[in-house]
A and B are shown apart, each in its own frame.
Chain A
């Protein structure tokens, strides 16, 4: 059974690119309760930015939809970030996870998932075409201090 989080925040916002920075700031504020290093804080900000940008760019290409972000704190300094949309979904998740693969054209580097995984340590992506995508990332903060 999953342990109950010690603390959590749920946010829902429209998939407008201006909200990318809002999501980063909210995640950074939530993580700050663990007294993270600047590097850890920067890692979380970057990973959240990638996940939310994916929802803005790919989940709702032709319209504005709702993006949900859930931040949870578990015992042992574990931070979980879930970014969820009810957009178009990903046809081929393993392909989407490959570095430099993108359907976003020259504006996108295709490095989003690679960076999320590298900066958070743990990443899972669940998606159903037509139903939406859920990205779940975990990171241990404050391991050695």
Chain B
């Protein structure tokens, strides 16, 4: 999995590229945390357009970023969710926590 960051002021957009499974998630999350530790954005946007596969490992990653944003009184927004990713997040009840319509 590759990750692209775009930081502007207090917001950071993170684009995930590739398969987000258990194999990829751990390294991805530590890379994201390391980057966010430098800039401490309160608003995080996760661009999922180029995620070709995701399982519950991705849910754990999204939850970690959600908690991180909330800890700084900020928010996490999800962008460009494919139908399978949307179905997965809905099955896991994430629609109660986050807006899945984007």
Contact = CB atoms under 8 A, between A and B. Distances in A.
Interface stretch (A6-14, A43-51, A68-76, A90-98): A43-51
Given A46-B88, A99-B93, A114-B92, A21 B63 contact: no
A45 B88 CA distance: 12
Interface in B2-53: 19, 21-23, 25-26, 29, 53
Contacts of B72: none
A119 B64 contact: no
Given A39-B83, A115-B55, A21 B91 contact: no
Contact of A17 (B22, B88, B93): B22
Question: What interface size band does chain B fall in?
Answer: 20 to 34
Contacts of B22: 17, 20, 49, 53, 56-57
Interface string A19-58: 0110010000000000000010010011001100100110
Contact of A115 (B53, B60, B64, B92): B92
B93 to A, nearest CB: 7
Main secondary structure of the interface of B (DSSP, over half): helix
Contacts of A53: 21-22, 55-57
Contact of A106 (B64, B84, B87, B93): B64
A119 B91 contact: yes
Question: What interface size band does chain A fall in?
Answer: 20 to 34
B59 interface: yes
B55 A42 contact: no
A80 to B, nearest CB: 20
Contacts of B83: 39
Nearest to B64: A106
Contact of A109 (B23, B56, B87): B56
A27 to B, nearest CB: 12
Contact of B84 (A42, A56, A114): A42
Contacts of A106: 60, 64
Interface of B: 19, 21-23, 25-26, 29, 53-57, 59-60, 63-64, 83-84, 87-88, 91-93
Interface of A: 17-18, 20-21, 24, 39, 42, 45-46, 49-50, 53, 56-57, 99, 106-112, 114-115, 118-119
